[in-house]
Every structure is written in structure tokens, then in C-alpha cells.
Structure 1
Amino acid sequence: MVVARQLHLVRHGEVHNPERVLYGRLPGYGLSELGRTMAAAAADDLAARGSYYVALYVSPLQRARESAEPVAVALGLAAQVESRIVEPSNHFEGKRMRGKGSALTDPRNWPFLLNPLRPSWGESYRSIADRMIAAMNAAWDAEDDGDIVMVSHQLPIWMVHRALAGQRLWHDPRTRRCGLSSVTSFSRFGGTFVETGYAEPAATLASSATDVGAV
């Protein structure tokens, strides 16, 4: 398979989250200093590929916009906000998911855990996959040539991976292959996206990073 033109889904870097809550779509959660270093590593990785980049899209959330800043500089592109690649809504926003006082131990939250296949605590997996792929198709069709970068979030990127691979969308969140500042790449053949690569430019920093709150 010859890969000429690609679309790259980049996850944001580590977030400053000292209380270790699930931040979801809550405002005020930007990158930590380590997260900025991670984002720069992703930008350097993309620039080093020698591709011709024509567009940069970013989720409206602060951590994604800050992660896109070094990418914009490295690739010489202005970031465009794309609301369809945002983090999904989640009942557990602002709550701790592990340790003492975990939301999972509070009976008031148990009704939101009844159907992990949808999931019952937020936007459905199918909805996430559909809006992400719609945004990817729109970005691809808007350009005649060149690579496209989208800075998004773990679950949306993982839903694209599973949907395009023909896998069931429900899954164990602990098994997601979508590290901080990772780059998942796709190309489109016959009108369908196909995954063409995965890289973790910030892998050497991961052992020092905090990445919590996935459900």
C-alpha cells in the first residue's frame, strides 16, 4: 500500500490536574509543563516526516488548543477550531475515578454505570465515532492535496481506530492504545479511511506523566 496523503489524529499532552479528576469538557484544564514538552515532541515528529501539510484542526478545549500551538509553529499553519473532534460529554466530569472518595463508590452514580456498552454515563460510542469520521471526511474533501492534522482527545481517536478496523466500539478503557501526544495516521482509499500508522513521540516522557480519568 502506497501512502501519499495522510490525516493525522494527535492527542493532547499531559494536563495540569493536581486533583486527578475526570476533566471532560470542563473549562480551565490546560497543559502542564510536561504536557507542553510532550506537545512539542509531537510537533517535532510531524515536522520531521517531511510531509506537505495543508490544514490544522483543533478541538475547542484548552488542552487541545495548547497542544496545537507548537504544531502550528512547526508546520506553519493556523489552527482552525473543529467542534466535532471535541471530548465527549460525561456524567463524571469533575469527579475522581480512583482512590478515596471515588465516584464509583457513590451509590448516586451507580445508575450511570448500568450500560457500559453504550455507555450510559455519556455520549454513545457510535455518536463519537460518527462525528469524528464526519469531521475527517470534511477536512479531507476541503483540500486537494497535502496532509491534515487534527488535535483531539483519547476516546474520540480510539473510537475512530475501532470503527475503521471493524471492531465493536465498547471496550475496556484501560486497553486504549492512544498515549499522550500520540499520532495516529490515516489515509483514504475508495472513500474510506484506513489506518496507516501509530507513533508515540513523547513515549520517553510517559513514565513521569499523569493520565487519569478514563471511563
Structure 2
Amino acid sequence: MNSPAAPAAVLWDMDGTLVDTEPYWMASETPLVESFGGTWTHEQALALVGLGLEDAARILQSAGVRMAEHAIVDHLTAEVMRQLRDEGVPFRPGAREMLLALRQAGIRTALVTMSLRRMAESVVELIDFEAFDVIIAGDDATRPKPYPDPYLQACEALGVAPESAVAFEDSPNGIRSAVASGAAVVGIPLMVSVAGAGAHATWPTLEGRTVDDVAAFHTAHRTTRGHAR
């Protein structure tokens, strides 16, 4: 029996998918809101998961943060980067191992994140192998997730068709972005449910998963889509 064909590329969200930085973002948002006399609940913080930073900044403004959008984005990014330096990069279970296995198998990879490029690059620099061929960050995207633009830009930069790629995402907005691009999408939820967001498969974690699992998922998705209509 022939082995399933591997995808041409695997596209990774960063926050919550590759690395568990969402607690760092939340720990940065709460004191910022409180410094302006407001309150910030866990539920409000969860609503920002997967949003573009400018969209998140506008929500923080509505919670009482009297700062310009770009200043909020810069402040939060600096705080999260500080925590990364102090605490280290908290990879999600199996994520580093999967990324390394994909690289060793010769499969191209892209990081597709709504975090600023300087933060994305700081995370990538802390990975002890050459992890990504391409980075598309929030300040590179023509439109943020849930629009398909970031994933389409990544595929264009890699020189692959979106239909030949697999995307890993942890948030509803990210999943909607990747699905709209045409990629086959695996939801790997963390802080929020991804039910109803349209992922083609949901894996609780990447721990124990292999390149063959990714290839089998991609082949099954293409076969199913080919039989649709």
C-alpha cells in the first residue's frame, strides 16, 4: 500500500498553537486596563484570542485604556517579549517535535501569526534549529485573521498552492482564516473552543503525532473534497 503523500507545506499559527503564550498576553492586558481604572475579566481576555492586535487594541480602548492603538500594541508586545525572555518559550506538547520532524522530512514550513514580526522573530530565534522558511506576521498581513490574507501570503511566499498545504490553528478566528485560504486545517484548541469554526479535523494536542499522521490527514481531506458536489 502506498504511503499518503505529504503536504507541500505546513503553516503554523504561533500563539496558542506552537507556543502557549496566551497566559503571557492575558498577564499583560489585565494590569494595563487596571492602570486606567478599568477591570478586565478572564472572559474578556479569552475574547481576544486569535484576534489581530489592532482589533484587540480597540477592544482594550473600549475597556478604558486611553492609549493609541499602536501604543497598546507596542506595550503588550514588549510585555510578552519580556516574559518570554524571563520565563522561556513554552512550546505546546509535541509542537517542537512535530516541527523538527517536518523539517527533517523536507516539508516547507511557515509561521503565520498576528503577533508583530519582532516578537515572532524573537520566538523563532529561541528555537534551536532552522524552523521556518517564511514568517508572515501581523504587521505583514494585508488584512488580519479571520481574513484569509495571512495564509494566502504565506503560500505565495512559499510558492505552494493553499490546497496543497496543511494549517495548524488553535482559535476560531485563525481556523476561519486558514479554511478561507483553501488549506486543510487541523484545530488544536487550547484556551477557547474551536467547535463550529470549520476545522477539517481537531486534535487535542500534537503530542505523539507524526509526519505520517499529517500526510494521512491531508490525503483524506483532498480525497473527501474531490468527491464533494
Band the TM-score falls in, shorter-chain normalisation: 0.3 to 0.5
- Normalised to the residue count of structure 1, the TM-score between the two structures is 0.42
Larger RCO (CA under 8 A, 6+ residues apart): 1
Task: From the two aligned structures, give the one with the greater strand fraction.
Answer: 1
Task: From the two aligned structures, give the one with the greater helix fraction.
Answer: 2
